[in-house]
Amino acid sequence: MPRCARSSCGRWSPWFRRRDAGITIDGRWFCSIGCVEGVARRRLLDARPSATGLPPAGQIRLGVWLRHQDGLSEQQVEQVLEAQRHSGLRFGAQVTTLGWASREAVLRALARQAGVGYLAELDASNVTHAPAGLSPHAARALSLVPFCEPERGRVKVACAAPLPRMGLAAFRRLTGMTPEPYFVTDDTWDTLVTAYGSALEGPTSSRFIETSDLSEAAATIAAAAAGGSGANARLTEARFEPYTWVRVENDGITHDVLLASGGAGACQVLSTSH
Ligand SMILES: [Zn+2]
């Protein structure tokens, strides 16, 4: 006979309820929504960053790549560093501002440095139907935009430099798919993240909630797990600064609950179509 899986509860199921009562998460039975909330709170607090599964960051500096690849002189590199001190621009942006390398050359060097691919151009029409089915808010929070439908468990994603390692790790953990990152320019990134999912209409099968309130996050997770048939919800969590993310899959609906630590206390509730 099942017993409530919350250790501080431990109620036996048949003594006080019908057989179909209670909530099942990942095959474990809970007697009440209150117990699920307690467990959700614990999982939010205990979530740890997952291994990124990506090659370590390149040790070679961007300037070295640009010298090697685009013939930037040592003297020019020095001047870039000097100009940066006043402008506050990043190295790559400073090089293009000075006109010593094209934006594509900088993008290519950044990609080599990070050990990833790059795309000089990527049309926003690739992402308006939200390939890989993320909520647009989720894509923005993860700092990555899937731009192809997944194939054999892998999915190509666009991102801006520097590589969003934690977002990529969280994506892998939450979706079970391996992201293949490609760098795009900051402008392309802005266009893509705005366009992602913009063509979708119709019934909602994906919900996204962002909050900085732990109790609210736990209550939302519990409500999502208890909704629908309550037959068996799946719960996955991932931690990536400054977020803890819990995905609840229940009755064909995906609920993404994003808990922001140290946030402004504001809460947004957003729904998206899929
Ligand atoms: Zn219980």
The answer to whether the beta carbons of residues 226 and 23 sit under 8 Å apart is yes
The answer to whether the beta carbons of residues 2 and 29 sit under 8 Å apart is yes
40 C-alpha to ligand 1 centroid (Å): 13
Predicted confidence at residue 16, as pLDDT, reads: 52
Task: Determine the CATH number of domain 124-195.
Answer: 3.30.300.160
Is the pTM of the predicted complex or chain greater than 0.75?
A: yes
145-146 and 154-159 beta bridge pairing = antiparallel
DSSP line for 27-90:
TEEES-HHHHHHHHHHHHHH--PPP--SPPPP-S-HHHHHHHHH---HHHHHHHHHHHHHH---
105 C-alpha to ligand 1 centroid (Å): 59
256 C-alpha to ligand 1 centroid (Å): 24
159 C-alpha to ligand 1 centroid (Å): 43
Q: What is the pLDDT of residues 246-271, one digit of tens each?
A: 999 998 888 999 998 854 343 444 44
Q: What is the pLDDT of residues 142-176, one digit of tens each?
A: 999 999 999 999 999 999 988 998 899 999 988 89
Q: What tokens appear for 157 in the block? A: 């994603």
154-159 and 23-25 beta bridge pairing = unpaired
186 C-alpha to ligand 1 centroid (Å): 49
28 C-alpha to ligand 1 centroid (Å): 11
